[in-house]
């Protein structure tokens, strides 16, 4: 369609097209002066559906090759129902992977001083060691980075019109491993909570997930998600973004390595980071800067950076 050609359509028709996911600029009107009607919108949608059907039919031979033999043709098998949580997650993950152009940035943070500080924390009343996980510090670090780089705290809800939603809240999703499957509840208003509050809330929402007592609403309305494999193993991986968020931070298992500092090799505690981001809104340079901010926030000056 010509760039200078005017589009004749009533607000009602424009809304109708938008609700069906149709780009009004691509629809040819059948009325006088090319005015677009409801029939034109429906015809456009039907045409797209036929094109999609033809595309799938063109791959029929390939699909036939893939399913020509049954698994049972090669030996004993067992058919089981997928757990409900995994079924829901499968649909959500497929949607995220197909809608979002993923890129993953890998880096590592030196958390030597932070870990020394964390291991020294004690309860002022009992003198017992406090059980505060590294994840609590990572949450605070992430919130600080989101404040500085707001593009990571947004959603793209209207890509056709070039609109994005910038969120003014900081609700951090935490991937919780349960026997029922992976769940991602939110730590609400993480920017307003201290170490103890974050630690208690993490335990609370994790317990609720494992006991299936979490409210469904707690899985929605997030800013960004953290998924940690540190307690299990592995260093770098490619986490899938939790749509409609635009980024996710993967955390691996810490390890020691020799680092050259002031012309001397020192044994340092390193934390692997894997940052997946939506390339439609975030470019590689911005992702690198964001990751550098995370590293600084949990690095040797963490107490100053996180106001601890």
Q: Which residues form the catalytic set?
A: 279
Instruction: Please list the alpha-helical segments (H only) found in 31-186.
Output: 38-58, 60-66, 84-99, 112-120, 134-148
User: Cβ neighbours of residue 117 under 8 Å, at least 6 residues apart?
Assistant: 302, 303
Calpha distance 46→217 (Å, rounded): 35
Closest by CA to 109, choosing from 306, 292, 307, is: 292
21 and 28 in contact (C-beta within 8 Å)? no
278 and 90 in contact (C-beta within 8 Å)? no
Q: 3-class DSSP state for residue 305? A: helix
176 and 206 in contact (C-beta within 8 Å)? yes
Calpha distance 265→257 (Å, rounded): 9
Length of the chain: 308
Q: 3-class DSSP state for residue 54? A: helix
Calpha distance 242→238 (Å, rounded): 13
Q: Which helix (H) or strand (E) holds 289?
A: helix 284-297
Q: Report, in angstroms and rounded to the nearest whole number, the Rg of the chain calculated over CA atoms.
A: 25
Tokens of 67: 């399913």
User: Cβ neighbours of residue 2 under 8 Å, at least 6 residues apart?
Assistant: none
Q: 3-class DSSP state for residue 306? A: coil
Calpha distance 245→156 (Å, rounded): 8
């Amino acid at each position: 369609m010509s760039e200078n050609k005017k589009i004749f359509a009533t607000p009602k028709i424009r809304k109708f097209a938008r609700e069906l996911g149709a780009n009004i600029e691509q629809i040819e009107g059948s009325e006088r002066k090319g005015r677009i009607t409801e029939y034109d919108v429906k015809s456009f949608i039907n045409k797209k559906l036929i094109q999609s059907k033809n595309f799938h039919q063109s791959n029929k031979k390939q699909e036939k090759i893939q399913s020509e033999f049954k698994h049972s043709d090669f030996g004993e098998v067992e058919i089981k129902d997928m757990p409900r949580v995994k079924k829901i997650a499968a649909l959500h993950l497929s949607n995220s992977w197909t809608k979002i152009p993923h890129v993953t940035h890998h880096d590592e943070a030196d958390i030597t001083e932070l870990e020394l500080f964390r291991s020294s924390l004690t309860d002022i009343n009992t003198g017992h060691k406090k059980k505060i996980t590294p994840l609590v510090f990572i949450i605070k670090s992430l919130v600080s980075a989101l404040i500085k780089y707001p593009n990571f705290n947004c959603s793209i809800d209207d890509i056709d019109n070039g609109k994005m939603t910038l969120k003014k809240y900081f609700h951090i999703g935490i991937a919780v491993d349960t026997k029922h499957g992976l769940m991602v509840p939110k730590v609400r208003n993480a920017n307003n909570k201290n170490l103890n509050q974050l630690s208690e809330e993490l335990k609370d929402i994790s317990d609720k997930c494992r006991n299936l007592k979490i409210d469904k609403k707690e899985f929605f309305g997030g800013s960004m998600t953290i998924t940690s494999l540190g307690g299990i193993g592995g260093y770098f991986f490619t986490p899938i973004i939790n749509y409609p968020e635009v980024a996710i931070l993967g955390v691996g298992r810490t390890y020691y390595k020799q680092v050259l500092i002031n012309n001397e090799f020192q044994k340092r505690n390193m934390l692997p980071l894997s940052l997946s981001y939506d390339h439609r809104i975030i470019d590689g340079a911005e992702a690198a800067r964001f990751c550098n901010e995370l590293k600084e926030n949990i690095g040797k000056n963490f107490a100053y950076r996180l106001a601890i």
